[in-house]
Structures are given as C-alpha cells and as structure tokens.
A and B are shown apart, each in its own frame.
Chain A
Amino acid sequence: MKWKSLVKVALRSIMRNRLRSFLTMLGIIIGVGSVIALLSVGKGTQSDISGRIQSLGTNLLIIVPASSGFGGVSWGAGSWNTLTMSDVDRLERDATLISHASPVVRVRGQVIAGRNNWYTQVQGVSPDYVDIRSWPVDLGAFFTEREMKSMSKVAVLGATVADTLFPGIDPIGARIRIRNVPFTVIGVLSRKGQNMMGDDQDDIILTPATTALVRLSDGKTVNSIMASAVSEQMVEPARTELGLLMRESHRLKENESNDFGIRTQTEINETATSITRMMTLLLSSIAGVSLLVGGIGIMNIMLVSVTERTREIGLRLAIGAREADVMVQFLVEASIISLMGGVLGILFGFAAGAVIGKLTSTSIVADPLIIVVSFLFSGVIGIFFGFYPAKKAAALNPIEALHYE
C-alpha cells in the first residue's frame, strides 16, 4: 500500500470527524504546548539569570565576615565583623591572582538635595569597584585614588538616585547631604537594572570607602571585600590565595577556623541554574503527564474508530488488505492526529510563552531543538498509543467484521 494513499485515507477519516479529531488532539496540543511554553520560558529565565549574575561583575570573589556565636547561639553572618581596611591593603599588596580589590562599606541613610530627599543605600568603595563590577559612569567621573586617600566628600549617584534627586537637571557639581554630611556629586553611574532578587541596583550612592568609614560609619567596619580574579580559570586558585592571605592578615592560628567566608560568582551561578533546572524539570514532568493523558485520549478515540469502522475493515480485508495493511492504516491515522496536535501545540506553546514572557518580562528563547524534539515526540505518542487499537483492527476476523452491525 502506497504512503500517499495511506496518508490520504487517514486524512479523509480525520476530516470526516473534524470536531472529534480536534478534541482528540487537544490533549497533545496542551501537552506539547505546555512543554514548549515552559521550556522556552525556562530557558529564557535561565539566560536572564545568568545575564544578571554576569552583571554582578567579572570573575567576582566576595569576602564576607563569618558568622560567630557565643555559648552555642549563632549570631548569623556578619555578626562578628572582622574585615578591615588593612585586610584590603594586604590583599592589594600581596595577592597575585586578583586584578582588583575594593572594600565595601554599607550604610543606609537619608539623602537631601535642595528640596528633594531620598532614603537610599550608600556604599563606600575604592576606584577599583568600577572595574570589578564593570560599571562605568555615564556622566562626570568616578573618584580617584587621590580622592580616596584624602577622604574627599565626593559622591557618584546611581541612575535611580540621580533621577529622583535631580529630575531633568544635570547633577554634576551639585551639593547633597548624606546623613547631614555635605558631599559633592561628581558622577552618575550607567543604568544596571534589577539584580537577581529584583532589587533596583541603581538605587545607590557610591563614595570613597575612607570617607564612608569615617564620616558615615563607625570608622572601622568593612562589610565585605570584592575582588576580581585575573581570569575565569583563576577564580578558584584566587579563592585559595585570598583565604591564606586573610588568615595571615587576621593572624589566625592553625587550629582556628576562618573568621570570614569567600564566595565566588560560579557558586552563585550554579545555585541559580540548579534552581531553574529544578523548576524546568518539575514543570516538564507536569507537561509529561498531560502528554500521557493526551496519548490515552488518542488510544480511546482510535478504539472507538476501530469499532465504528468494523465493516470497513471487513471490506478492506475482503478485497485483499493484509493484516499489516490495516494495522499500518490505523497507525498512520493515529500518528497524523498526534502530529497535527504536535504542530498546533508548538504554535500554542510559543504563543503562551510569549504571553507569559510579556507578563513576567522575561525573555523567550525559541530553541529549534525543542521544536524538533516535541514534533517527533508527538509522532511517537501517536504510534505508541495507536498501536493497541491498530493491532485490534488488524486482528478482526473478516467474516465477522463484514457482517458487523
């Protein structure tokens, strides 16, 4: 039996029961559609997240104070603040595997500029910070080593702060008061957008770390130290080197545990991707269940179809169809229903993905591999679930089938 006539016969029987065929496809449409939607949104989210992690900085290492405790009660991370400017100096002087290092002194406070005011985060950092976070200024300039040494009261505004305090005005040279300490605005940072947690990274003011320590903070506490490894491959060796230098700098004895922790970007990255991977897996298994249900729907309808067309099958057997011919005919029909459902599902999936993407403002990635795989997979479902009904049709006794009422 020729393939062309097989497909023609199958299409005719599908078109004969349009509504029923469509309803049968629905399970596959929803199944494939959700796979496509979830995977494309999932992939999109993943690339969004890695983009955002990349926006943290390049080859980043972050040194944070370790948690400490007293009498068995842990006080949580940073509870015992042990990082100081001398640690930073030590790293800058002796570390060979890092290209930049910057202290981060974190303070929150009210900022006043003329008649506007704003509550925001102030970070005291070193000029290296620009390179560590690959975060250049848009307007004006960043402060220099000299301004750092002289504890100049200069500030670089994040885009959000600049927009709020100086709507439509050039802020360069303007005077602002941070916690009542006067500063001069010398630059505005380029826009960085939200971070992984959805916080606005542009809601920030950067000042020299020395100034922040003395004028805004307690004069000694450095909240964290950020550093850039010289290359991506050197992130892990740099972690080891920084660990040793920090231990020396803190004069820790051999049996004392670290009073600091070092995180790397790869770690953060891995956590994030493993979360999205888990999410994708979970959602895919839900989609898998709906595909299974769709397949069972096909089997059900094919069984009905075999019963309905018993006389036709009898006739075909009488005029010379072999059992295999009958079987192939029903398999082709089941696969076509399933493939049509697959194609509709792919279209539906991308439409749904686009809508979800719009609503959650994540980007959609259309992976051609996903399309091919779901198309083939729906074909396989058709063959798998069409097999039993087709077998049943082929096994009919021609005489009984011919006289079936």
Chain B
Amino acid sequence: MPLIELKEVTKVYRMGDIDVHALRGVDLVIEKGEFVSITGASGSGKSTMLHVLGCLDSPSGGEYILEGIRVSGLGNRRLADIRNEKIGFVFQGFNLLPRTSALENVELPLLYDRAGRIKDPERKAVEALTRVGLADRLHHEPNRLSGGEQQRVAIARALINEPAILLADEPTGNLDTVTSMDIIGIFKELNSQGITIILVTHEPDIARQGKRMIELRDGRITHDHTVSASGG
C-alpha cells in the first residue's frame, strides 16, 4: 500500500465569475520514506497541491488516499484530526507563537491530540528539539532565536506527533543560502531516519536536494524523475 495515492485529482476555485483550474487531473503515488520535491512556477498549482496533500483543502474531483484512508470527501472535523495525527507542517514564515518558549511551541500540536497517542509531551518535545540540534535553546522565545533556529523549532513542532508525512512549504524562503542548506541538511537527516518528506519550493537548487523531483505546470505534472545521486 502506497503512503499517498492521488487519482485524477482536480481542484477548481471560483474567483468572481471565473473558474480557476488549479489542478487538472493529477495522478501521483508516493511511497513511505521518499523525499519528494514539488516545484513549478507560481500559478503552476504547487501550493494547491500542498494544501490538498496536507488535508487543508479538499479536491474538487478525483481521489486522495492517505495511508489507506480515503481523505477526499471527509468532513472538517475528521480532516482536522487527520492533520493532527498524520501530517507535520513546516511553513515559510515559521508561524511560531510569539512570547512562547521553543518547548511550548513544539508541544502545541499535542494540545489537539484527542486520541492521547503521545504520552509524555515534555520529554517528547525535548527529544524533538534535540533532533533538530536545539537542545540548548529549549526555553528561548522566538524573538531570541535566529531565522534558522526558528525554522528548526518549527520542524521539531512538525515532528512531535510522529506524522506520516512532513510537508514543507517553501521552508527556506525566508533564509539565507547557508542557513537554507542547514535546514535542508536536517530534512535529509530526518529522511535517512525513515521520515517521508514532501518539499514544495520554486527554487531549483533547493528542489534538487530531494531524491525525487516533480514539476508542475498549469495544474498538471510535467516531469517526475529521480534526482541523480550527485545531488547537484
């Protein structure tokens, strides 16, 4: 069973009088443990793709199956639960709560862990922060952390609920080149530990860091290929 399966997925927005076809029939299979980058120009549909994969948005047509669950067609409540259990988000703008320590920011998703899957939130949060190399920054608030460090906190937050996929939306968009490579290094490290990563970016250099590259144009997949071992 593949981790993610998209069948003929379409997405149509209505903007005023015009229908915008963001996705025009996307077929895609992603297996567990992959490191996929999704790339494309702005307006290619990659953001919509990310929202659909992240269960923030439901497709207009077609099917989305995540870990055997048919996600397309679920109600808002179930989608919220699935986001909490199976998906870890990393955003371009970090989206950390201000004046809240790194530790508490990382613990945030557990607030909505209704099933009570994660037993010891604090230990788990410390573990996640250690994994991204911030063991010595547990009690720092975001305004005392550098951009790279803030993004690491966000990655730790995405990891805490042991998600099936880590979804990163332009995670290096606000960072300089060196720091960007740092963050990519963390993704590679996590991937080598078996975590499935989907990275959405418009920067070719960053996209080439994944193991598999998918290119979108006008709502369709135009390229889907494995990146050579050299890594570019």
Contacts and interface: CB of A to CB of B under 8 A. Distances in A.
B112 A319 contact: yes
Contacts of B111: 1-2, 5, 9, 321
Contacts of A325: 80, 112
Contacts of A316: 108, 112
B80 A317 contact: yes
B51 A321 contact: no
Interface string A304-334: 0000000110111111111111000000000
Contacts of A320: 80-81, 83-85, 109, 112-113, 161
Contact of B108 (A12, A16, A319): A319
Nearest to B160: A319
A318 B97 contact: no
Interface string B122-136: 000000000000000
A399 interface: yes
A402 B112 contact: no
B226 interface: no
B146 interface: no
Contacts of B76: 322-323
Contact of B84 (A12, A319, A402): A319
Interface string B49-80: 00100101100000000000000000011001
Contacts of A78: none
A60 B95 CA distance: 78
Interface in A371-391: none
Chain A CB count within 10 A is highest, among B57, B84, B97, for B97
Most buried by B among A318, A319, A324: A319
Contacts of B95: 311-312, 314-315, 402
A182 interface: no
A324 B81 CA distance: 12
A398 interface: yes
Contacts of A318: 54, 56, 83, 89
A136 to B, nearest CB: 71
Contact of B80 (A2, A5, A9, A321): A321
Interface residues of B, number: 26
A311 B89 CA distance: 14
Contacts of B81: 320, 322
Contacts of A324: 77
B187 interface: no
B91 interface: yes
A402 B80 contact: no
A68 B81 CA distance: 88
B7 interface: no
Given A5-B111, A12-B100, A312-B97, A319 B157 contact: yes
A156 B5 CA distance: 108
B99 interface: yes
A26 B230 CA distance: 65
Interface string B83-114: 11100010101010111100000001101110
Interface of A: 1-2, 5, 9, 12, 16, 311-312, 314-325, 398-399, 402
Given A16-B99, A315-B108, A323-B80, 14 more contacts: A1-B111, A1-B112, A314-B95, A315-B97, A317-B56, A318-B56, A319-B83, A319-B109, A319-B112, A320-B80, A320-B84, A320-B85, A320-B161, A325-B112
